[in-house]
Structure 1
Amino acid sequence: MSNTVFCRKYQKELPALPFPPLPGKQGQEIQASVSKQAWGEWQALQTRLINEKHLNMLNPEDRTYLMEQMQRFMDNEETDQAEGYVPPTQA
């Protein structure tokens, strides 16, 4: 039987993450309220932001920026986008 979670991004029951994606309380909260689908979409956006904005994950300000963007993404608020990114077209 697959675990589900009421996803805060999509506001419906969806498959859950198999384990917390971050350490500590924050990871547990994400696992309890974010679906596997939403987390995968966030990871894609996170990767684009890191690459396009040349973020350094050793820099505390860059990590804080990413966490703020993650919260905005999960709450369906406007997030920064990678400049010039064009989503792939589905054929």
Structure 2
Amino acid sequence: MTRKIHCVVDDIETEGLDYPPWPSAAGLRVYREVGKPAWKRWLAHQTILINEYRIHPMNPEQRAFLEREMLKFLFENSVHMPPGYVPKDD
């Protein structure tokens, strides 16, 4: 059975995540307040950050950076691309 939530990012009723996606209070907040479509957009942005900044998610400092960026992206509507980032044409 799918779990429905009111997604604060998109301001719609939508399918919620299946489990908290991050091991912290921030992950619980995302689980409670963010729908799958918004989470999918974050994952795409996170991939850009990981690739452009050469982030190792197991590094505690770099993981903290990703968490801060995740919260900005999802709850502050703040999306900053890495300096010099050029999107690839698909």
Relative to the length of structure 1, the TM-score reads: 0.79
Tell me the equivalent position of 2:53.
53
Identical-residue share of aligned pairs (%):
31
Report what 1:85 is aligned to. Answer: 87
Alignment RMSD (CA, Å): 2.0
Secondary structure of 2:13's match?
Answer: strand
Partner of 1:31: 31
Q: Report runs of 4+ in structure 1 exceeding 3 Å deviation.
A: none
| Structure 2 unmatched ranges of 5 or more | none
Contact between 2:38 and 2:74, CA under 8 Å: does it hold in 1?
yes
Going from structure 1 to structure 2, the CA distance change for 1:57 and 1:87 (only over 3 Å counts) comes to same
Q: Which amino acid aligns with 2:6?
A: F
**Amino acid of the residue matched to residue 43 of structure 2?**
Q
Task: Indicate yes or no: 2:14 matched with 1:14.
Answer: yes
Relative to structure 1, the CA distance from residue 87 to residue 45 in structure 2 (aligned partners, 3 Å threshold; closer, same or farther) is farther
Range 79-88 or range 16-25, more displaced: 79-88
Deviation, structure 1 residue 16: 0.6
Deviations, residues 12-45 of structure 1 (Å, cap 9, x unaligned) = 2111111221235432221110101111111111
Distance 2:77 2:89 in 1: 19
Normalising by structure 2, we get a TM-score of 0.80
